[in-house]
Amino acid sequence: MEVSHRFPWFLADGHHFLYSTLTLLGSQDHTSVRIGSLDSADAKPLLEADSAAIYASGYVLYLRESNLMAQPFDPKRLATTGDPVLITETVGRVYNVGAFGVFSASANGVLAYANGGSGALGLTWLDRKTGNRLGNVGDPGILGRFRISPDGKTAAVWAALGGNTDIWIYDLERRLPRRFTSDPAREQDALWSSDGRTVVFNSARKGRFDLYRKNADGTGAEELLYADDMMKNPSSWSRDGRLLLYTANSAPAAVEGSNLSGGSGLPVFRGLPFGNSPKSLPDIWVLPMTQQSGAPAKPYPWFRTPFAKQEAVFSPDGKWVAYQSNESGHNEIYVAPFPGPGGQRRVSMAGGTAPRWPAGKEIFYVSADNRLMAVPVNTRGATLDIGEAHRLFEFPSTGVGVMYDVSDKGRILAALQPEESGKTANEALKFVQNWTAELNK
């Protein structure tokens, strides 16, 4: 099942472009490169690759494993015209949804690439004031999003270790990981129950991401919590255990008016139609976790607008939800009362993603310039007082954005590239002038 179209690269005519499509096939992420057009919705398959592709100097450049390949390409015919040729080995790549290589090429024949990087990240405790590293947790690996357990002693981590993409539980005190899921399908996001005894995660076992749960200690069978034909990403579990927030693309529905009732009788905030698109951008959904015996869970949309809304998190008391939305033209952090009614309020100053609302009186988020921000908040009944955002520190660049979490005690954990003494980012980059000369010999 195709789950992502990413990393577009325009060709010289300004109408056609290369892009990557990611397909879930069992435990593997299958990446292919296609040619798209601004004038048509049709796409033309071009080649198979292990990364996104670019075009330069008559060649399409991409990775196969960690090898940088160049394949002759005719931009007028929109077709390859020869076999791929190896440029160099062990080129770095980074992972998000799909992978892209750490390389680029200019129009005047200069090639730049990072040598030897594997995309490995390590969980690292950071000092709140300075961002200095306080200690690593386990060995580096291909890590994704993670959440710290309520007691702060473990973390549920998406990791590609041992040849499969699973959820792993990291013991943050002993600095040891253990595998939590082992199905051949890909797992991606995990949440803890407030007592730390249960983990909810999504898995692509049926060709799309559905919701499952399992005892946090690994005992017992995994339970399918909810499945439908949408891709679901869980983001927050209320502390009373009653409700789960997740993000999913919603089919268009009647959107006239506002504060309409959802399936549970609670308000659903809706916006204006999004053109004639058959599907909306991601919306915030609510899944009741306490149903009558034998009754299947029935989720309902909580916040539906024509904009992309993600990373929704409950406040500690469950009366508010913080989330990111691009309704201003770029991502910002907002807060709205839950279940409503009531209007949203903007929290971030100039761009914001990845809100976190641990126990305490602060909302954390990442600014547009990769800084961790802390915003003091105070709830008084139905009133929320929002203070001035404070800049804490800048996250080191990883190439895949910031992945972090904040424990209930305010400790900050991030997935970062390992420190290498004596090396700088500039020293890791290699530049080759007239790189096509060797290919043409």
- Looking from the CA of 319 toward its CB, the CA atoms found within 13 Å total 8
pLDDT confidence band for 364 (50 / 70 / 90)? very high
Q: Judge whether residue 195 has pLDDT over 90.
A: yes
pLDDT confidence band for 162 (50 / 70 / 90)? low
Phi, psi of 426 (to 5 degrees): -65, -35
User: Lowest-pLDDT range, 17-21, 255-259, 358-362?
Assistant: 255-259
Place of tokens 């983001």: 235
Average pLDDT for residues 65-84, to the nearest whole number?
Answer: 92
Dist CA 238 CA 217 (whole Å): 21
Q: Judge whether residue 282 has pLDDT over 90.
A: no
Written as six digits, the tokens of 34 are: 């296609």
Positive/negative CA dihedral, 135, 141, 146, 150: negative
- Say how many Å lie between the first and final Cα of the chain, rounded: 42
Domain ranges in the chain with CATH number 2.120.10.30: 121-416
Q: Judge whether residue 169 has pLDDT over 70.
A: yes
At the topology level, CATH places domain 121-416 in Neuraminidase (2.120.10)
Dist CA 246 CA 243 (whole Å): 10
pLDDT confidence band for 428 (50 / 70 / 90)? low
pLDDT confidence band for 426 (50 / 70 / 90)? very low
Written as six digits, the tokens of 79 are: 């077709």
Q: In the prediction, which pLDDT does 424 show? A: 39
Q: pLDDT tens across 231-279, in order?
A: 899 999 999 999 999 999 754 333 322 222 233 333 333 332 223 333 4
Q: Judge whether residue 133 has pLDDT over 70.
A: yes
Written as six digits, the tokens of 223 are: 């339970």
User: Lowest-pLDDT range, 204-213, 301-310, 424-433?
Assistant: 424-433
Q: pLDDT tens across 304-359, in order?
A: 778 888 999 999 999 999 999 998 889 999 999 998 878 889 999 889 999 999 98
Share of the chain above pLDDT 70, in %: 84
Positive/negative CA dihedral, 274, 279, 282, 287: positive
Average pLDDT for residues 61-76, to the nearest whole number?
Answer: 91
With beta carbons less than 8 A apart as the criterion, state whether 398 and 121 touch. yes
Q: In the prediction, which pLDDT does 62 show? A: 93
Q: In the prediction, which pLDDT does 79 show? A: 94
